[in-house]
């Protein structure tokens, strides 16, 4: 759920009149990237936040896995990204070739979240760790929330496992930190959810506005999925996963209720299981 923090910062930057959602991202990049457009249409800040940038999910955009055993993929990722820097990402970004117009298709994208986090650092002239503290951890009193750094894993942090019970590497990689490395607890994430439930806050309200797709099927806001359920309720949700960890948050602003589930296991079915579990719990509560 790290990606929702970056999207919330984007909404704040818009309301602070520091950026516009439709700004070409190249306005905030130091080098020239003539390749980051398709048929004259550039990637915008909004495209980064609503998963429609068309950028590759991982950088560098190479086949890292080939015919590798699926069980070895987490370790391949860890070996590559442990030594992959922010400068490497900007270098390899020159080689990206978009396959369609930005804004035409929504697809999960770590690279987009990385760039959005870096851009927010530039916009606010501060590093992401400080931004997390200033705008979230301190005002919301999230005492167990931090940005993971290489070799600085919190002592109380749970170990993450795959579906076979193997301990997984921790994503504390420099290049993916702003997109996937916020560590937190259930109590802190409930405080974050309470903040997100308050749509009287213009930052929160803006981040929840659907920007792509149909709300009946699940539209995309700023890294949130917004959907009208079969019984007419508006839900806002986000699923998250890293090596050995899975998470799910769903809340209903009109009902001032929601749930967050964190798991220290990640396999192909974990996120689906969390969604089913959250739905059961919410239904039981509504019947009481």
pLDDT at 151: 78
CATH number at residue 27: 3.40.710.10
Per-residue pLDDT at 43: 98
Q: What is the structure's pLDDT at 287?
A: 63
**Long-range interactions of 74-77: CB distance < 8 A, separation 24+:** 74/162, 74/168, 74/169, 74/243, 74/244, 75/169, 77/169, 77/243
Which residue in 230, 135, 235, 115 sits closest to 175, CA to CA? 115
What's the pLDDT at 190? 97
pLDDT of 78 reads: 85
Q: How far apart are CA 31 and CA 42, in angstroms?
A: 15
CA-nearest of 23, 150, 42, 16 to 96 is 42
Instruction: Give the residue numbers spanning the domain of 211.
Output: 2-287
173 φ, ψ to 5°?
Answer: -70, 140
DSSP annotation of 26 reads: G
If one counts the domains in the chain, the total is 1
| pLDDT, position 219 | 97
Note the pLDDT of residue 283. Answer: 83
Question: 209-235 burial string, b = 16+ CB within 10 Å, else e?
Answer: ebbbbeeeeebbbbbbbbbeeeeeeeb
**Residue pLDDT, tens place only, 76-106:** 888 888 888 999 999 999 999 999 999 999 9
**According to the model, what pLDDT value does residue 63 have?**
67
Prior bond of 60 cis (ω within 30°): yes
Four-point Cα dihedral 110, 198, 232, 108, nearest 10: 0
pTM for this prediction? 0.93
**Rounded to an integer, what distance in angstroms lies between the CA atom of residue 217 and that of residue 220?**
10
> What phi and psi values does residue 36 have, to the nearest 5 degrees?
-90, 50
Helix (H) or strand (E) holding 246: strand 245-252
Residues of the chain with pLDDT under 70: 61-65, 286-288
Q: What DSSP state is assigned to residue 267?
A: S
Amino acid 36: pLDDT: 97
């Amino acid at each position: 759920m790290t990606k929702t923090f970056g999207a919330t910062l984007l909404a704040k930057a818009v309301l602070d009149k520091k950026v516009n959602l439709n700004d070409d991202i190249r306005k905030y990049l130091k080098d020239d990237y003539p390749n980051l457009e398709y048929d004259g249409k550039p990637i915008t800040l909004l495209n980064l936040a609503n998963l429609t940038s068309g950028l590759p999910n991982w950088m560098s955009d190479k086949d890292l896995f080939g015919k590798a055993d699926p069980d070895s993929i987490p370790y391949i990722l860890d070996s590559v990204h442990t030594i992959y820097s922010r400068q490497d990402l900007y270098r390899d970004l020159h080689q990206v070739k978009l396959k369609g117009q930005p804004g035409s298709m929504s697809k999960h994208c770590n690279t987009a979240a990385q760039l959005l986090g870096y851009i927010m650092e530039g916009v606010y002239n501060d590093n992401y760790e400080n931004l997390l503290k200033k705008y979230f951890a301190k005002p919301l009193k999230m005492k167990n929330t931090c940005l993971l750094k290489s070799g600085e894993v919190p002592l109380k942090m749970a170990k993450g496992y795959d579906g076979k019970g193997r301990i997984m590497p921790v994503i504390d990689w420099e290049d993916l930190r702003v997109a996937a490395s916020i560590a937190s607890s259930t109590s802190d994430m409930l405080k974050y959810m309470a903040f997100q439930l308050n749509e009287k806050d213009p930052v929160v309200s803006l981040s929840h506005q659907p920007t792509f797709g149909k709300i009946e099927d699940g539209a995309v806001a700023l890294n949130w999925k917004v959907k009208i359920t079969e019984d007419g309720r508006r839900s806002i949700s986000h699923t998250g996963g890293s090596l050995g960890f899975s998470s799910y948050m769903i809340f209903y602003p009109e009902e001032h209720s929601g749930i967050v589930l964190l798991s220290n296991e990640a396999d192909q079915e974990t996120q689906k299981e969390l969604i089913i579990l959250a739905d059961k719990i919410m239904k039981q509560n509504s019947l009481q």
